Homo-oligomer: A and B are copies of this chain.
Amino acid sequence: MNKNSSNIMALAPNTSNKRETVCIFGTGDFGRALGHKIIQSGYPVVFGSRNTQPSSLIPKDAEVLSHAEAAQKAAIIIIAIQRQHYNFLTPLAEILHGKVLVDVSNNLKINQYPESNAEYLAQLVPGTKVVKAFNTVSAWALQSGTLDASRQVFVCGDDMGAKQMVMDIVRALGLTPLDQGSLLAAQEIENYPLQLFPMWKFPILLSLGLTAFFFFYCLTRDIIYPYVYENKDFSFFIVISIPNRICPILALTLLALVYLPGVLAAIIQLYRGTKYHRFPDWLDKWMLCRKQLGLVALAFASLHVLYTLVIPIRSFVRWRLSSQIVSQALNNKTEPLNTTNAWLSDSYLALGILGFFLFVLLGITSLPSVSNNVNWREFRFVQSKLGYLTLILCTAHTLVYGGNRFLRPSSYRWYLPNAYMLSLIVPCIVLVVKFVLIFPCLDKPLTRIRQGWERNPQYSE
């Protein structure tokens, strides 16, 4: 047997049946839950508390000692106490010297204090190795064992060895440690559990704004106008007809907005002749939330599909159909098949179906577990090639749906064009510019710029 193996060397002689003791300061909910879980994973646990009387709430196998006694028993101390009580640690500074302190605290507001709790702790008790960890884990999830939300535990700290020890515990609990670097990252880690979909804010606000605009636009054209001029009450259009106009408009516009920043970036790079200038901030932010924009667009597209498929079940549509047929029968005439209409109707339906199908495919590949299983080339192929194909199909769907309707005067009530025409503006711009950028005279320099070439090199390698 190869006894030289480092692995064997490290383990064989020192191997012991026990993991080292972990000390937890604080016997609140989170401290107890964490202690319970750590004991289950095979570590001896000792609690440090003001009150050392046994309590039925504290895990059976754990000892409860005074803070000083407990701290002496372990190399690693988890501080499961709120920040405002941290100063009780100052008298213990001598005992804590050289120990690993794990800050698990959270705040109630983002950036509540000037410095993070972990950095505050490191200042309070110098000579200790402070590691931030476990703050994203919920006490309830630890207790019930249903870690449905994230199993990720962000860890940061200035001491590599201390961080390693904490990450070993994290792994032993069946969680995934993610090293976030030095203690400077603690602020961000403490803000993380307070965030509520930060990347989704802009796409959702934008779509709410657009929804409101198009709602009043359609309200004016489709309900108020006929009421004023024809005295017809189509108020029930608010429920399905108008949403089914707004949804496709938003889906198409937002999908185009996913591809617009890429096109803008290409123009900027071509203009500047280099890729080493930073993009303006708004463009950077826009590019980072493209995935979210696309998913919101997909949500609107799905709603559009559902709203469209229920059309034949709607009471109003049935009434319109039957009154049309009855009037035909009463007038004793049968209309011949209009082949052009059949072509147009089938075409826009088919384009919509294929566009939606590709859109759903894009959505599926953006699922983390799927995108993790494709390589970079495949991911780019799906998100760029298939993405543009989706945009083309959806734009064509809208164009064919419109047909020559834009020529009819009835499409301009109160000088307002049909809402679908507005939805075509952004996608058409994106597609036209993209088409121009494909020409070799523009594509070649762009490719060279993206490979690092500069028109006016100002920087040496």
Question: What's the nearest-Cβ distance from chain B to residue A151, in Å?
Answer: 6
The answer to whether the Cβ of A433 comes within 8 Å of any Cβ in the partner chain is: no
Bound: A248/B443 CA distance, A: 41
The answer to whether the Cβ of A404 comes within 8 Å of any Cβ in the partner chain is: no
The answer to whether the Cβ of A461 comes within 8 Å of any Cβ in the partner chain is: yes
Excluding A6-B14, A315-B344, A319-B342, 17 further A-B contacts by CB distance (< 8 Å) are A1-B73, A5-B18, A5-B19, A17-B159, A28-B452, A136-B375, A138-B376, A144-B287, A149-B374, A150-B375, A239-B347, A240-B349, A306-B357, A315-B338, A316-B337, A316-B346, A327-B334
Q: Which residues of B contact A74 (CB under 8 A)?
A: 1
The answer to whether the Cβ of A314 comes within 8 Å of any Cβ in the partner chain is: yes
Q: Which of A88-96, A120-128, A160-168, A201-209 contacts B (4 or more CB under 8 A)?
A: A160-168
Bound: A171/B164 CA distance, A: 12
**A196 B322 Cβ-Cβ under 8 A:** no
Q: Which of A49-57, A423-431, A434-442 contacts B (4 or more CB under 8 A)?
A: A49-57
Shortest beta-carbon contacts, A-B, top 4: A15-B161, A315-B345, A369-B369, A6-B14
Question: What's the nearest-Cβ distance from chain B to residue A216, in Å?
Answer: 18
Closest to A243 in B: B350
**B1 A6 Cβ-Cβ under 8 A:** no
**A192 B375 Cβ-Cβ under 8 A:** yes
Bound: A1/B71 CA distance, A: 10
Contact of A7 among B165, B196, B318, B353 (CB under 8 A): B165
The answer to whether the Cβ of A456 comes within 8 Å of any Cβ in the partner chain is: no
The answer to whether the Cβ of A181 comes within 8 Å of any Cβ in the partner chain is: yes
Which residues of chain A (180-237) have a CB below 8 Å from chain B? Answer: 181-182, 192-197, 233, 235-236
Q: Which residues of B contact A417 (CB under 8 A)?
A: none
**A338 B319 Cβ-Cβ under 8 A:** yes
Q: Which residues of B contact A291 (CB under 8 A)?
A: 146, 148
Bound: A344/B406 CA distance, A: 33
**A50 B7 Cβ-Cβ under 8 A:** no
The answer to whether the Cβ of A29 comes within 8 Å of any Cβ in the partner chain is: yes
- Tell me whether A18 and B2 are in contact in the complex, defined as CB-CB below 8 angstroms, given that A148-B291, A194-B377, A376-B138 are known contacts: yes
The answer to whether the Cβ of A432 comes within 8 Å of any Cβ in the partner chain is: no
The answer to whether the Cβ of A418 comes within 8 Å of any Cβ in the partner chain is: no
**A160 B338 Cβ-Cβ under 8 A:** no
Bound: A334/B356 CA distance, A: 38
Q: Which residues of B contact A73 (CB under 8 A)?
A: 1
A sample of 8 cross-chain residue pairs with beta-carbon separation below 8 angstroms, ordered by A number, consists of A1-B74, A7-B168, A9-B14, A15-B159, A138-B376, A236-B339, A313-B349, A315-B338
